[in-house]
Amino acid sequence: MKIIGADVIVCSPGRNYVTLKITTDSGLIGWGDATLNGRELAVASYLRDHVCPQLIGRDAHQIEDIWQYFYKGAYWRRGPVTMTAIAAVDIALWDLKGKAAGLPVYQLLGGAARDGVMVYGHASGGSLPEMLDDFAGYLDRGYLAVRAQCAVPGGDKGYGVHRGHQLYEPASGSMPDEERFEVGPYLRFVPEMLGAVRDRFGYDVHLLHDAHHRLTPIQAARLGRDIEPFQLFWLEDATPAEDQEAFRLIRQHTTTPLAVGEVFNSIWDCQHLITERLIDYIRASVSHAGGISHLRKIFSLAELYGVRTGSHGAGDLSPVSFAAALHLDMAVPNFGMQEYMGHRDPAGEVFGTTWTFNNGLMHPGDAPGLGVDFDEKAAERFPYDPKYLPVNRRTDGTVHDW
């Protein structure tokens, strides 16, 4: 199965997505996701200018060799742009291998290790009553796990809070929006918010919260301890993720389970977190951490140390990489939870999917490959629309982690 074409398509159906199309002499086409929120064109150029020409003529079945060729062969390793580009190639090649074999990708990864993949939805609100009503809606729709995010009264509008009826989307504007964050009111409010969830909905639903890398280690330790009574499934991204050592301090103070990893792009970013058991869930994503092949290695390392998976699944991961995540989730023994934020309209006009949601569990479907189609004609109706993630500042103007 020789590769005869590799093309990059940038489109914006609801938000920007970068899609890699690999064409083979067998007539089969594989799709990969190369979206890196706010830096889309950097990955598109990396692929178009440097990777696509070197793909032509290769055997699409040699997934591992091609992965190593682009990782070791570039000499310059790791980093979000490089690893997202390699991920797109890897995902497209797994899609092709499945299509060639006539099997869904999860069968090639060892077959189903569970009936379905537990996903969590995103409840949010500009006020506590609004967030609790949104939370109730997720339970009505059958979710077994829900993340709670809420604006801090009289202060920050809060990370992860949707506006209107559309799904939350932080990227906006051709220049980054500026937001404000103060840690004191946040730390006082989060226990109250999580307590209100438990008061209204009890303890059967799995409850999660994302601190979005905003705390210092000792602040995170205090938050973890304060929310222990509410028995979270996980506290996500408590501190800036590049400081692996910070998690040791948090760990010493709290039994709240810790999750991190959506900004990681290789196994080297989480080696110590995993091998020293500093976290409970590894949240790297299939599209930013080198594709199915590399994320599977991260998950296997995690399995050895009792760390479970919690793949990133925000709306800025296209349906192609969300499907890839579901296939991997189906097959790995140490699956924990999958994030499912959903995709804004009109993404469904461009991406066709086969996944299903039933009683809180998702299944990727049994179509050969990943089970995602990309409509190139429809994509032309939604040209690239530059948008950036917000920049965060403290009240005194100091730039802070967003």
Question: For residues 225-264, which are near Mg ion according to CB under 5 A?
Answer: 262
159 annotated active-site: yes
- Find the helix or strand (DSSP H, E) in which 236 lies: strand 234-236
Tokens representing 86 are 């390699």
Cα 317 from chain centroid? 6
Q: Choose the catalytic residue: 162, 212, 288, 327.
A: 212
Residue 170 binds ligand KDG (CB under 6 A): yes
212 annotated active-site: yes
Size of the site for ligand KDG (CB under 6 A): 11
Residue 318 binds ligand KDG (CB under 6 A): no
- Residues across the chain: 402
Nearer to Mg ion by Cβ, of 257 and 371: the residue is: 257
Distance between CA 131 and CA 147 in Å, rounded? 10
Residue 134: contacted member of Mg ion, ligand KDG, none (CB under 5 to 8 Å, by partner type): none
Distance between CA 351 and CA 152 in Å, rounded? 36
Answer left, alpha or beta for residue 212, where phi above 0 means left and psi between -120 and 50 means alpha.
Answer: left
- Nearest-CA neighbor of 253 among 222, 277, 294, 278? 222
Check whether the bond before 170 is cis (ω within 30° of 0): no
Residue 339 binds ligand KDG (CB under 6 A): yes
Least spacing, CB of residue 30 vs Mg ion, in Å: 28
- Nearest-CA neighbor of 145 among 291, 259, 254? 259
Q: Choose the catalytic residue: 17, 46, 159, 186.
A: 159
Nearer to Mg ion by Cβ, of 19 and 149: the residue is: 149
Residue 329 binds ligand KDG (CB under 6 A): no
x/- string (CB under 5 A) for Mg ion, residues 199-218? -----------x--------
Residue 339 binds Mg ion (CB under 5 A): no
Greatest pairwise CA separation for the chain in angstroms? 61
Residue 226 binds ligand KDG (CB under 6 A): no
Q: Is the dihedral of CA 325, 328, 329, 334 positive or negative?
A: negative
**Amino acid identity, position 286:** V
Nearer to ligand KDG by Cβ, of 1 and 171: the residue is: 171
Burial of 69 (0-12, 13-18, 19+ CB in 10 A): middle
Residue 210 binds ligand KDG (CB under 6 A): yes
Of the residues 262, 269, 280, 329, which one makes contact with ligand KDG according to CB under 6 A: 262
Least spacing, CB of residue 68 vs ligand KDG, in Å: 28
List of residues contacting Mg ion (CB under 5 A): 210, 262
List of residues contacting ligand KDG (CB under 6 A): 37, 170, 210, 212, 262, 312, 314, 316, 339, 341, 389
- What positions carry a catalytic annotation? 159, 212
